[in-house]
Amino acid sequence: MRGIRGAITVEENSRPAILRATEQLLEQIMELNQLTEKELVSILFTSTSDLDRVYPALAARQLGLAAVPLLCLQEMAVVDSLKMCIRVLVHINRDCRPDELKNVYLKGARILRPDLVCSQTEDSKGEMS
């Protein structure tokens, strides 16, 4: 079993913005790692306390991940930490080296782990290109 990390910041505390950002993050993780639903063991989501309009896991359900166990948690409140942020840990069942997996950090969350940011670039709207 392996884990893939990711994070994204959200423009505003609204249901559509949270779901859109979470969907973008999950789609990028799935695409860049060529994941299939069969490989997914579970997905843990955390969000900062300023995001409280919807569970990020709903975006995974709307993407069709109906059989994958999901859990949403609140991120620790650390002084001066990044706000409006959703983080994810995707557990997968794959026999590979950790360096073969691509962690995905989008928008303002790119500052969290610059050492893990994949080689993809984002445009001014935070979209992958």
> Rounded to 5 degrees, what angle do the CA atoms 57, 125, 76 make?
40
61 is catalytic: yes
2 is catalytic: no
Report domain extents, the chain. Answer: 2-111
> Which listed residue (31, 37, 61, 96) is catalytic?
61
pTM of the predicted model as reported, rounded to 2 decimal places: 0.88
User: Superfamily for 2-111?
Assistant: RutC-like (3.30.1330.40)
The pLDDT value given to residue 123: 45
> Which listed residue (2, 72, 94, 122) is catalytic?
72
The pLDDT value given to residue 126: 52
Note whether 32 and 102 are within 8 A (CB).
Answer: yes
Note whether 97 and 2 are within 8 A (CB).
Answer: no
Which two tokens mark 85? Answer: 């942020």
Note whether 106 and 114 are within 8 A (CB).
Answer: no
Per-residue pLDDT of the chain in tens (129 residues, 90 and over written 9): 999 999 999 999 999 999 999 999 999 999 999 999 999 999 999 999 999 999 999 999 999 999 999 999 999 999 999 999 999 999 999 999 999 999 999 999 998 988 876 545 444 445 543
Helix (H, G, I), strand (E, B) or coil at 107: helix
